[in-house]
């Protein structure tokens, strides 16, 4: 594991997120109240592009089936917006899995992620 520069601070407004590619790996980078968070950009449900989702506080919502994860530690807040039988069947095939998160540090204007 080592810290890799993925962006500069001026690339991220407050309460926004971007996707960065590092060695072919998609990383989600978010800025909330001058704190930076990083996680896999692909949703652990079915690979939705999280950078195209929405961000409220540190909670990212997947654009595909609206699973929600807290970027602070990746825990699942909501596993899809399926309901009823669809939810039960969905959980059999895809049980809830947290989002993998990465440590972030800022050095000057550089935002570095521990990959
Ligand atoms: S792919 Fe993200 S909720 Fe289904």
Average pLDDT for runs of 10 along the chain of length 115: 91 95 94 96 97 98 97 96 84 89 96 95
Q: Is the CB of 44 under 6 A from ligand 1?
A: no
Q: Residues, the chain, total?
A: 115
Model confidence, pTM: 0.93
Give CATH superfamily name and number for 3-106. Answer: Rieske [2Fe-2S] iron-sulphur domain (2.102.10.10)
- Give the count of alpha carbons within 13 A of 73, CB side only: 3
Q: Which atom of ligand 1 is nearest to the CA of 50?
A: 2
Dihedral in degrees, nearest 10, Cα atoms 34, 39, 40, 42: -70
Q: Is the CB of 45 under 6 A from ligand 1?
A: yes
pLDDT at 38: 98
pLDDT at 104: 97
Residue in 39, 61, 64 to alter for ligand 1 test, most ligand atoms within 8 A of Cβ: 64
pLDDT at 93: 81
- Report the separation in Å between the CA atom of 56 and the middle of ligand 1, taken as the mean of its atom positions: 17
């Amino acid at each position: 594991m080592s810290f890799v520069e993925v962006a500069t601070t001026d690339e991220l407004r407050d309460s926004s997120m971007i996707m960065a590619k590092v060695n072919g790996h998609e990383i989600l980078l978010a800025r909330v109240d001058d704190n930076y968070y990083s996680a896999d950009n692909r949703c652990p449900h079915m690979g939705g592009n999280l950078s195209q989702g929405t961000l409220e506080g540190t909670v990212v919502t997947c654009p595909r089936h609206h699973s929600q994860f807290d970027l602070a530690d990746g825990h699942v807040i909501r596993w899809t917006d399926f309901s009823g039988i669809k939810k039960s069947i969905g959980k059999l095939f895809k049980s809830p899995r947290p989002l993998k998160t990465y440590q972030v540090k800022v050095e000057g204007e550089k935002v570095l992620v521990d990959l």
